[in-house]
């Protein structure tokens, strides 16, 4: 089994690091000044589940009952008050300011041709669509690879950007819209033909399904569930690992895809054992967020490895794994011996919730 890690740090092109803290975006000055900060109290709910995960936010009513209402959809598209998010691959135009960022939305009359998705309706009744426009239409370049992003605040102005870069800078509405639109666009781009007979399929249901004109079969967007887990030992040390496909010094918690016919709990126990040789117990859920690069749903957990167990990395996917006390992690981060995942990732938030305070993370 050599399926790539589902991770938020996969070697697929990503873009620049973004600062943490949905809601009050600003740039960290350095270690200890990460914005995800102020974790106490407001970052978890009463059940210990993480709240405000960057890509788990949304404020629109998805209006699922309208997806097959052609009359309503036509009227919404004809309304100049409707707003459209135009995608160029996985990027959209973003307006960067001193206090965050916002998507640049256009009226339907200014949207290009392309597959159209109904994203939802806001409280004021404004309808939002996305259009997967032509590649290069926004003059968006290739997304930079992991580790190549600038560690400085983005310059003010308007330019194309991707979710990794702006996920934490956007407000709830925009973060949710962008995440949904990229997930749908990725699916349409890669599921163009009927898996039964190879006929090109056509978008239906306002971009939320495709139908084969030859046999009438309907096909729905794919989401790949993945578990991501922070493992602790009897001394409450945290297990962090380096994946061979990541940039040097990048470490994170373990993750893996849930396989067909497998429960989430089984996947977690299996992945930890395969990657590190550890047997874990006491699993508990800590939150989830979509990671549509290209189609993962990250299911976050904590787990415990009791007793004295030896770490044996698989050597194939995981190159190195070790325990960190909080003091050791702080020191390693300050000296840049290790680089933590970006604040937009659920991994970052889970590590911070164990650590108990803000930590810097970057690409
Ligand atoms: Zn077919």
pLDDT digits (tens, 9 = 90+) for 291-312: 999 999 999 999 999 999 999 9
221 C-alpha to ligand 1 centroid (Å): 16
What residues does 61 pair with on adjacent strands? Answer: 121
- The span from the first CA to the last CA of the chain, in angstroms, equals 27
Q: What is the pLDDT of residue 46?
A: 79
* Pairwise pLDDT comparison (140 vs 111), residue with the higher score: 111
178: phi then psi, degrees, rounded to nearest 5: -65, -45
292 C-alpha to ligand 1 centroid (Å): 26
Residue 23 has pLDDT above 60, yes or no: no
- Mapped onto helix, strand or coil, the DSSP state of residue 61 is strand
pLDDT confidence bin for 14, thresholds 50/70/90: very low
259 C-alpha to ligand 1 centroid (Å): 26
pLDDT confidence bin for 151, thresholds 50/70/90: low
Say if residues 117 and 221 touch (Cβ distance below 8 Å): no
Q: What is the pLDDT of residue 35?
A: 35
Neighbours of 120 (CB within 10 A): 21
What average pLDDT does the segment 106-111 reach? Answer: 98
Residue 18 has pLDDT above 90, yes or no: no
Mean pLDDT of the residues in the chain: 88
Residue 273 has pLDDT above 80, yes or no: yes
Count how many Cα atoms sit within 13 Å of the Cα of residue 112 in the half-sphere of its side chain.
12
Question: By C-alpha distance, which of 323, 287, 325, 280 is closest to 303?
Answer: 280
204 C-alpha to ligand 1 centroid (Å): 14
| Sequence spans of domains, the chain | 56-219
**pTM check: above 0.75:** yes
223 C-alpha to ligand 1 centroid (Å): 21
Q: What is the pLDDT of residue 326?
A: 97
Residue 251 has pLDDT above 60, yes or no: yes
What average pLDDT does the segment 256-283 reach? Answer: 97
Helix (H) or strand (E) holding 56, with range, is none
Say if residues 5 and 245 touch (Cβ distance below 8 Å): yes
What average pLDDT does the segment 162-167 reach? Answer: 92
Percentage of the chain exceeding pLDDT 90: 77
67 C-alpha to ligand 1 centroid (Å): 22
Write down the H helix ranges in 235-343.
264-276, 326-334
């Amino acid at each position: 089994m050599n399926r790539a890690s589902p991770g938020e740090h996969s070697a697929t092109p990503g873009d620049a690091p973004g600062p943490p803290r949905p809601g009050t975006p600003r740039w960290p000055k350095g270690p200890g000044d990460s914005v995800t900060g102020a974790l106490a109290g407001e970052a978890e709910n009463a059940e210990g589940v993480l709240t405000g995960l960057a890509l788990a936010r949304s404020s629109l009513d998805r209006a699922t009952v309208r997806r097959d209402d052609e009359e309503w959809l036509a009227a919404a598209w004809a309304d100049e008050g409707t707003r459209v998010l135009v995608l160029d691959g996985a990027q959209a135009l973003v307006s960067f300011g001193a206090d965050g960022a916002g998507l640049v939305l256009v009226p339907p009359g200014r949207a290009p041709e392309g597959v159209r998705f109904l994203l939802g309706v806001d409280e004021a009744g404004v309808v939002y669509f996305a259009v997967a426009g032509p590649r290069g239409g926004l003059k968006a370049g290739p997304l930079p690879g992991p580790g190549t992003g600038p560690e400085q605040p983005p310059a003010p102005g308007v330019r194309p950007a991707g979710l990794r870069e702006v996920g934490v800078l956007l407000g709830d509405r925009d973060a949710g819209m962008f995440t949904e639109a990229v997930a749908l666009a990725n699916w349409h781009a890669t599921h163009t033909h009927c898996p039964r007979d190879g006929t090109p399929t056509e978008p239906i249901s306002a971009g939320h399904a495709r139908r084969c004109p030859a046999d009438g079969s309907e096909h729905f967007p794919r989401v790949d569930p993945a578990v991501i887990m922070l493992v602790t030992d009897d001394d409450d040390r945290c297990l962090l690992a380096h994946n061979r496909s990541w940039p040097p010094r990048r470490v994170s918690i373990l993750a893996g895809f849930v396989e067909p016919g497998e429960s989430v709990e089984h996947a977690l126990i299996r992945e930890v054992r395969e990657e590190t040789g550890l047997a874990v117990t006491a699993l508990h859920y800590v939150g989830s967020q979509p990671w549509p690069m290209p189609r993962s749903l990250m299911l976050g957990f904590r787990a415990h490895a009791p007793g004295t167990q030896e770490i044996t990395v698989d050597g194939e996917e995981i190159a190195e794994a070790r325990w960190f006390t909080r003091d050791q992690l702080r020191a390693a981060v300050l000296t840049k011996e290790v680089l933590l995942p970006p604040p937009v990732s659920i991994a970052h938030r889970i590590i911070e919730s164990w650590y108990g305070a803000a930590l810097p993370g970057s690409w």
